[in-house]
Structure formats: structure tokens, C-alpha cells
Amino acid sequence: MRPGGQPNLQQMMKQAQKMQQQLAAAQAELAEAELTGTAGGGLVTVTISGAGEIKAVKIDPKAVDPEDVETLEDLVLAAVHNAHDEVRKLTEEKMGPVTGGMGGLGLPGF
């Protein structure tokens, strides 16, 4: 603060610009990241981007039972949820230090 209790506007602008650069770098890292979610001990694997886009689904043939399609559906859903949890964790890891805990920055909520 400057004399008289006034904040230094130039310093605040530099800090805001630095934070914006760090935020952009963190967002770029997230966009390039690929994370994996699994279910059923690895019977179903889902690969997802850091932006939340599902890239691949792999199903072990042992998980396919024509008499029990519901279990396979549950496994796929569980793997997707697990992958989204991994994205959330990575987002918190990358964005937390930059935003200092500020929420509502337009990040995907999983």
C-alpha cells in the first residue's frame, strides 16, 4: 500500500497479469492431460481429457456377459465417474495454486 492507504494500482495490475498468465498455462496443461478411470478391477477403462472429453473406452472381454448387461453398464458408468474424479483432482492441483481458492472461474464441474 502506498501512503494514505491507497493500493499501488500498477503493482496490482502486474499481479493480475501474472495470475492470468499462470491461469492460461494451467488451463493449457489441463487441456493436454489425459486421465484414466477404471472399474471392476480394470475390466473397464475410460480415458478422458483434462477438459472432460471422453477419449476412449476399453472393455475386457471377461466383462461381457449377454445374460448380465446391467453389470457391464454399471462398470462403464463407474469408470466414467472415476475418470471425472481424476480430472477434478488434477484441476484442483493445477488451478488451486493459481487461483488461491477463488471459485467460479468457468471451470468444468464434475
Range list of β-strands (E), 1-110: 34-39, 44-49, 54-59
List the grid coordinates of 25. 498455462
Distance CA 21, CA 46 (A): 31
pLDDT band at 105 (very low <50, low <70, confident <90, very high): very low
Q: Which amino acid would we find at residue 56?
A: A
> What global pTM score does this model have?
0.67
φ, ψ at 57 (rounded to 5°): -130, 125
Distance CA 96, CA 92 (A): 5
Collapsed DSSP state (helix, strand, coil) of residue 80:
helix
pLDDT in tens, 81-92: 999 999 999 888
List the grid coordinates of 80. 466414467
DSSP code, position 52: S
DSSP state string for 30-46: HHH-EEEEEETTTTEEE
pLDDT in tens, 48-83: 998 889 999 999 999 999 999 999 999 999 999 999
